[in-house]
Amino acid sequence: MDASGTFNVRKIAIIGAGPSGLATAKYLLAERSFSQIDIFEQRSTVGGIWNFSLQTTRVPLPQTSPCLPVEDPQRCNDGELIFPSPMYEGLEANIPLELMEFTDLPFTGEPKLFPTHEEVKQYVEEYANGVRQLIHFSTQVLDVRPLDSPNYIKGNIHRAWRVKTRKSGTQLEETRDYDAVVVASGHYNVACVPGIRGLEAWNESYPGVITHSMSYRRPGPFKGKKVVIVGNSASGIDIGAQIATVCAHPLLSSLRSQSFFLPPGAGNEVWKEDLPEIAAFLPPSEGSRAIRFANDHIETGIDAVVFCTGYLHSHPYLSSLDPSPQTPDGMRTQHVYQHLFFIPNPTLAFVNLTHKAIPFTTAESQGAAIARVWNNRIFLPSRGEMDRWEAEEVAVKGSGRPFHAMNYPLDASYINDMHAWCLLAEPRVRDEKLPPFWGGRQKWIRERFQAIKKSYVDRGAARHQVKSLEELGFDYEKWKEEEEKGLESSLQEAGEKAASR
């Protein structure tokens, strides 16, 4: 990439001590060039979204705006401050262990092939050991804004940042200045509940019937109830399967398209009835707890509706920025190059804005690039080229939620492109910390992970005894050998045909 300017970055703030923030911190430390790295974490522990609590967040119905204030914690009876996450009992990763691991830390012990949320939380705790000394726990970031005086170096202007923080649950505020800021606070804080016709009035008539997956914790409360699940992403599929063990059958599943998280042809369970999108929540005069779907089918007597419709991109502490990285509808983060650098001022970076990707690996890839760019070992293209990159992505994917989608093979290409970019770094540093690279095996697993997960889940309780992909019938080496034999046979056949002409 052509240089668009050099940076004078010495002091860096990272917002969030989840997997993304921790991975970025490790790559920044590996550069041995930055004088100060502070990680601000509003919780008292690391892990971010992987922190489980029974407490839930009240979700407004509908919720279509990302413009919410900084979240206030909930105080438990024992005085502990809780920031509820969408984590729920029984959740297992939807990514095989081999793809989920950080490059510098294998899972220890005997984790499940698809680790439980408890196993992932423990793993992230172990991963934090190398950077724990950098973390300011129980510290919320309230505001991040550029300083009035730009930071000049070699004719280029990169404005520094003023970061205001508050000790969680108190009024104790502090302000610090940094040369650069990494936003690693995730995008699972503001639930998305679409404004479907009649929803608000329906919710007033039947309070508590409509919820969002962000508030789901266990299937027990749905026992014997007539339930509608809206959405078929990872949470919709998994929560639906949990609720189906106790609710009245069939479970009603409202969806728009085939799920990314299921292999083709899957999803025809006998306990589930697929229905199109909800067209309207009907008033009591048109039926008791009634919903009309897009095909004009009406269901009555609905006891529970769970929206598994994802989250909005919300950055409340960046509200002063102009232009804003936050779109009015919250469907994506804008003015970003490579889903990473804030184009108007690339001393602000966002980690893991992408979805339908492998998050831990993506965080390492992006953290490695951030560290090398801010240390002037690799360079960003010009402002115009970065704007063009974003415009081209919008032209292909649209300006909404699909903009950050990284369906395979896009994520594999992105990871390896980041790796190749980072290899251009000069001068080399001692014990260079390289980002991930996906070879044939990783790509093969990634391409098949939906089928692998289905095969795993289909084993029921016995799945927890499965320790390898091979036990599920997914043998990369065997597949590779058969592919090579098939190629050799095809070449031989082609050669014979050519010789007989």
Q: Which residue has the tokens 């940076």?
A: 7
Segment 91-109 mean pLDDT: 95
Q: How far is CA 319 from the centre of its chain?
A: 22
Looking at 156-160, 165-169, 348-352, 452-456, which range is the least confident one?
Answer: 156-160
What lies within 8 Å, CB to CB, of 236 at 6+ separation is 213, 229, 230, 253, 255, 259, 308
When comparing pLDDT for 200 and 265, which is higher? 200
Q: Give the whole-angstrom CA distance, residue 335 versus residue 109.
A: 43
Q: Which residue has the tokens 């980690």?
A: 351
What lies within 8 Å, CB to CB, of 471 at 6+ separation is none
Q: Give the whole-angstrom CA distance, residue 363 versus residue 370.
A: 10
Q: Would you state the structure tokens that stand for residue 407, as one six-digit string?
A: 């369906």
Q: Which helix (DSSP H) or strand (DSSP E) does residue 143 occupy?
A: strand 139-153
Decide: 116 and 91 in contact? Cβ < 8 Å: yes
Q: What is the pTM of this model?
A: 0.94
Angle between helix 117-127 and helix 19-30 axes, rounded to 10 deg: 20
Give burial (CB, 10 Å; 0-12/13-18/19+) of 162: middle
**pLDDT attached to residue 500:** 73
For 8-116, where are the alpha helices, taking DSSP H only?
Answer: 19-30, 97-100
Query: Tell me: the pLDDT tens digits for 417-472?
Result: 999 999 999 998 888 999 999 999 999 999 999 999 999 999 999 999 999 999 99
Tell me: pLDDT of 491 over 80. Answer: no
Q: Would you state the structure tokens that stand for residue 131, as one six-digit string?
A: 């950077």
Q: How far is CA 100 from CA 112, 344, 351, 364, 456, in A?
A: 12, 33, 16, 11, 16
**pLDDT attached to residue 501:** 67
pLDDT-derived band of residue 383, with 50, 70 and 90 as boundaries? very high
Looking at 29-38, 170-179, 425-434, 444-453, which range is the least confident one?
Answer: 425-434
**pLDDT attached to residue 492:** 77
Decide: 33 and 11 in contact? Cβ < 8 Å: no
pLDDT-derived band of residue 270, with 50, 70 and 90 as boundaries? confident
**pLDDT attached to residue 258:** 63
Tell me: pLDDT of 63 over 90. Answer: yes
% pLDDT > 70, the chain:
95
The number of beta carbons lying within 10 Å of the beta carbon of residue 156 is 14
Tell me: pLDDT of 149 over 90. Answer: no
**pLDDT attached to residue 259:** 57
Q: How far is CA 259 from CA 202, 356, 443, 474, in A?
A: 28, 11, 20, 22
Q: Which helix (DSSP H) or strand (DSSP E) does residue 180 occupy?
A: strand 180-183
- Report phi then psi at 443, rounded to 5: -65, -40
Q: Closest Cα partner for 49 from 191, 212, 189, 217? A: 189
Query: Tell me: the pLDDT tens digits for 287-316?
Result: 999 999 999 999 999 999 999 999 999 999
